[in-house]
Amino acid sequence: MKRVASIMPLDADPALAIPAAADVREPAPAPALFSLRDVDLHYGRVRALHGVDLSIHAGERVALVGTNGSGKSTLLRVLHGLLAPTSGTVSCLPRNRQALVFQRPHMLRTSVRNNVALGLWLRGMGWRQARQSAVDALARVDMAELAGRNAKALSGGQQQRVALAQAWAMDADALLLDEPTANLDPHAKREVEALMQEFAQPRSGRTMTMVFSSHNLGQVKRLASRVVYLERGRVLADLPVHAFFNGPLPEEAGLFVKGEKI
């Protein structure tokens, strides 16, 4: 093919020069930390997730909402790599770069300090450093005084704080939480929420990405930057938090927000 010579060399007058293609391109979006494409997940005959497409980027705070059984916990387990999809594709952060905090964290029958340290040791940290990191992280969640107590004997709110200390000590890039305040009294709820808020702040130039499920729409408004509404395993709305609460929404999601669907 014949090449057409340019009329004027592009570098003749810098003011007129057309920038090379690389200079005018939009900066490439950061790669997604989590990316699900057309994901289905079946438990036997129950289809818990249905054609889920979802990409989550660094620094987002994503709330998963929906009625009981809509698939929130299942989706969190898929994001964490605990469940493999029946079909579709999933690409996620490696497990050691993300922490999952359950509604009722599992505590081992040993000291609070050991509970946190063991989690770090299992991820390959030396024991001495794991113990020290555990002590630092427990201080971070205001649990230093209880470090020697049997973790099994802690209250629900205290156990939740230990689980958050563990996530903090891991220095994870993403924190996944499944209804982290569901069984807590209002005081403990506020404390755990405040910690989530602090964790979401940038640390050493990095921002923790957070994905959490919640039935508490006030909490969603306070903590989330984006809301994903699930209904029978399908994503029916995926919007910035302001747009989600100020509509318009698909009918089912609208009823849910109004509290007419629980």
**Using the rule CB under 6 A, is 51 a contact of ligand ATP?**
no
Q: What size, in residues, is the chain?
A: 262
Instruction: Give me the least distance between CB of 47 and ligand ATP, in Å please.
Output: 8
**Using the rule CB under 6 A, is 73 a contact of ligand ATP?**
yes
Binding to ligand ATP by CB under 6 A, coded x per residue (else -) over 207-226, reads: --------------------
Distances (CA, A) of 23 to 14, 16, 30: 14, 15, 18
Cis peptide before 94 (omega within 30 of 0): no
Instruction: Give me the least distance between CB of 90 and ligand ATP, in Å please.
Output: 15
Tokens linked to 203: 């640390």
**Using the rule CB under 6 A, is 127 a contact of ligand ATP?**
no
The smaller minimum CB distance to ligand ATP, of residues 101 and 138, is found at 101
**Using the rule CB under 6 A, is 82 a contact of ligand ATP?**
no
Asked if 257 contacts 96 with a C-beta cutoff of 8 angstroms, the reply is no
Instruction: Give me the least distance between CB of 45 and ligand ATP, in Å please.
Output: 9
Instruction: Give me the least distance between CB of 48 and ligand ATP, in Å please.
Output: 3
The smaller minimum CB distance to ligand ATP, of residues 83 and 241, is found at 83
**Using the rule CB under 6 A, is 194 a contact of ligand ATP?**
no
Instruction: Give me the least distance between CB of 88 and ligand ATP, in Å please.
Output: 16
Asked if 196 contacts 101 with a C-beta cutoff of 8 angstroms, the reply is no
Q: Are strands 61-65 and 87-91 parallel, antiparallel or unpaired?
A: unpaired
Instruction: Give me the least distance between CB of 195 and ligand ATP, in Å please.
Output: 21
The smaller minimum CB distance to ligand ATP, of residues 73 and 207, is found at 73
46 binds, among Mg ion, ligand ATP, none (CB under 5 to 8 A by kind): ligand ATP
Please count the other Cβ atoms lying within 10 Å of the Cβ belonging to residue 77. 18
The smaller minimum CB distance to ligand ATP, of residues 119 and 233, is found at 233
Please count the other Cβ atoms lying within 10 Å of the Cβ belonging to residue 12. 10
Distance between CA atoms of residues 18 and 24, nearest Å: 9
CA angle 142/145/146 to nearest 5° reads 95
The secondary structure of 136-152 as a DSSP string is HHHHHTT-GGGTTSBGG
Distance between CA atoms of residues 74 and 71, nearest Å: 5
**Using the rule CB under 5 A, is 183 a contact of Mg ion?**
no
Asked if 201 contacts 236 with a C-beta cutoff of 8 angstroms, the reply is no
**Using the rule CB under 6 A, is 80 a contact of ligand ATP?**
no
Rule CB under 6 A: which residues touch ligand ATP? 43, 46, 48, 66, 68-74
